[in-house]
Amino acid sequence: MTTLYGIPNCDTVKKARTWLDAQGTTYAFHDFKKAGVPAQLDTWVAQLGWEAVLNRKGTTWRKLDAAQQAAVHDAPSATALLRAQPSAIKRPVVEWDDGTVTVGFAPEAWATRRN
């Protein structure tokens, strides 16, 4: 089954959920705030790269001081930050039913998927 990971009040997550619902795609929703960061974070970072999973444009990243930002320089340091600050994960993360993982909302790319 497809799983969408994110935060319910995130505008991009809302758009993604609306789009999936409109397509009739069955999915589970994993709320980072309530359920925490899943163990799959390591897999996401391994498959996509830590740079793709870390949201450097978001408020959480911008609120970190320069030393905290500078300390994120590789997969282990990024993973540690993402576990401590789930809001720094780029959203949504989607684990599709075929086993692939995507980050961000991309309706054009998602339209080619058949669930």
Positions marked active-site: 10
Alpha carbon of residue 109 to chain centroid? 16
User: In one letter, which amino acid is 101?
Assistant: V
Instruction: Give the separation between CA 30 and CA 93, rounded to whole angstroms.
Output: 10
Tokens linked to 71: 């300390």
Instruction: Give the separation between CA 108 and CA 20, rounded to whole angstroms.
Output: 12
Tokens linked to 108: 């054009």
